[in-house]
Structure 1
Amino acid sequence: MNRYSEQAENSIFFQQLDICCQKVAEQIGEKPISDWTNSDYVRLSGLLSRKTSIHLSESTLKRIFGKSKTSTRYYPQKATRDALAKFIGYRDWYEFEFKNPIIDVKTGLVQKAPAKTPETHKQESNKKMLYFIAFIVLVTFIAIVLLRKPDTGTDLFAQNVKLKCINPEGLTPHSAIFKLDAAGPLPDSSSNFSVDFGDGKIKRVNLSDSLFNHYYEIPGRYYPVLLYKKRPIDTGYVYLQSKTWSAITSVMQDTTRVYPVLVKDLGLRTPITVSAREVYSAGVDTNRTFFVHFSHVRPTNINGDNFELTVHVASSENRAGVRCSQADLFIYGEKDKHVFGIIKPECVAWAHYQFSEDVKDGAKYDLRALGHDLSTGADLKLRIENKQVKLYINSKEAFKTQYNKSIGKIMGVKLTIAGIGYFENLHISDLKTKETF
Structure 2
Amino acid sequence: MTTIPTPSDDKRFFEILDLCCKKIEEKMGTKPIADWRSPDYNLLNSQLGRQTKVYLSENTLKRIFGRLKTPTRYYPQKATRDALAQFIGYRDWQEFELINRFAPQVAPAIQQEIKVADIEHVAPYEKQSKVRTSKLIIGIAIFILAVAVGGFIVFNQIDQVKPGEVSLICENPNGEVPHTAIFKLSRLGNVNEDKQFTINFMDEGPLKTITANQEVVQFFKNPGVVHVRLFYKNKAIDTIAVSMQTKGWVANSGHDSLSAFPIARLKPLSKQKLFVSAKQLDSAGINLSKPFMIGFSNIHSSNISGDNFLFKCQLKTEESRPGIACMQASIFILGSEGRHRVLMVKPSCSAFSEYNFSELHVNGTSKNLSNMSYDFSAGGNVKLLVKNKKVSLFINDKNLLNTTYDKSIGKVLGVKILFNGIGTAASPELSDLNTGELY
The answer to whether the Cα contact below 8 Å between 2:222 and 2:260 also exists between their aligned partners in 1 is no
- 1:406 corresponds in structure 2 to 408
Superposed displacement of residue 186, structure 1 = 3.6
Counterpart of 2:361, as a letter, is: V
Any idea what the Cα deviations from partners look like across 1:169-225, whole Å, max 9, x if unmatched?
11001122222334546477x44x322213364404142771222221222222111
Partners of 1:178 and 1:312 in 2: CA distance: 39
Superposed displacement of residue 353, structure 1 = 2.0
Distance 1:364 1:178, change over 3 A: farther
Distance 1:376 1:340, change over 3 A: same
Partners of 2:234 and 2:369 in 1: CA distance: 28
Q: Which runs of 5+ in 1 are unaligned?
A: 1-54, 58-136
Moved more, 407-416 or 288-297: 407-416
Partners of 1:283 and 1:324 in 2: CA distance: 24
- 1:374 corresponds in structure 2 to 376
Distance 1:202 1:352, change over 3 A: farther
Partners of 1:298 and 1:251 in 2: CA distance: 17
The answer to whether the Cα contact below 8 Å between 1:247 and 1:295 also exists between their aligned partners in 2 is yes
Q: 1:235 aligns with which of 235, 239, 252?
A: 239
Any idea what the Cα deviations from partners look like across 1:267-314, whole Å, max 9, x if unmatched?
26x422000110111111011111111011122332221211111101
Distance 1:321 1:209, change over 3 A: farther
Distance 1:357 1:429, change over 3 A: same
Counterpart of 1:234, as a letter, is: D
Partners of 2:191 and 2:388 in 1: CA distance: 45
Partners of 2:200 and 2:368 in 1: CA distance: 27
- 2:265 corresponds in structure 1 to 262
Alignment of 1:74-89 (within 5 A): none
Number of paired residues? 297
Superposed displacement of residue 344, structure 1 = 2.8
Q: 1:290 aligns with which of 289, 292, 298?
A: 292
- 1:358 corresponds in structure 2 to 360
Partners of 1:278 and 1:155 in 2: CA distance: 53
Any idea what the Cα deviations from partners look like across 1:382-406, whole Å, max 9, x if unmatched?
1111111000112111111111222
- 1:278 corresponds in structure 2 to 280
The answer to whether the Cα contact below 8 Å between 1:249 and 1:261 also exists between their aligned partners in 2 is no
The answer to whether the Cα contact below 8 Å between 1:219 and 1:241 also exists between their aligned partners in 2 is yes
Q: Secondary structure at the match of 1:151?
A: helix
The answer to whether the Cα contact below 8 Å between 1:173 and 1:218 also exists between their aligned partners in 2 is yes
Alignment of 1:5-404 (within 5 A): 148-156=153-161, 160-182=165-187, 183-184=189-190, 186=192, 190-191=195-196, 193-199=197-203, 201-207=205-211, 210-250=214-254, 255-267=258-270, 270-404=272-406
Q: Secondary structure at the match of 1:264?
A: coil
Partners of 2:406 and 2:255 in 1: CA distance: 34
- 2:123 corresponds in structure 1 to none
Distance 1:180 1:346, change over 3 A: farther
Partners of 1:395 and 1:287 in 2: CA distance: 36
Distance 1:345 1:282, change over 3 A: same
Root mean square deviation of aligned Cα: 3.1
Counterpart of 2:331, as a letter, is: L
Partners of 2:294 and 2:30 in 1: CA distance: 38
The answer to whether the Cα contact below 8 Å between 1:383 and 1:389 also exists between their aligned partners in 2 is yes
Superposed displacement of residue 414, structure 1 = 0.9
Distance 1:196 1:349, change over 3 A: farther
TM-score, length basis structure 2: 0.61
Superposed displacement of residue 245, structure 1 = 0.8
Q: Secondary structure at the match of 1:199?
A: helix
Determine which structure has more spread, i.e. the larger CA radius of gyration. Answer: 1
Partners of 1:251 and 1:282 in 2: CA distance: 16
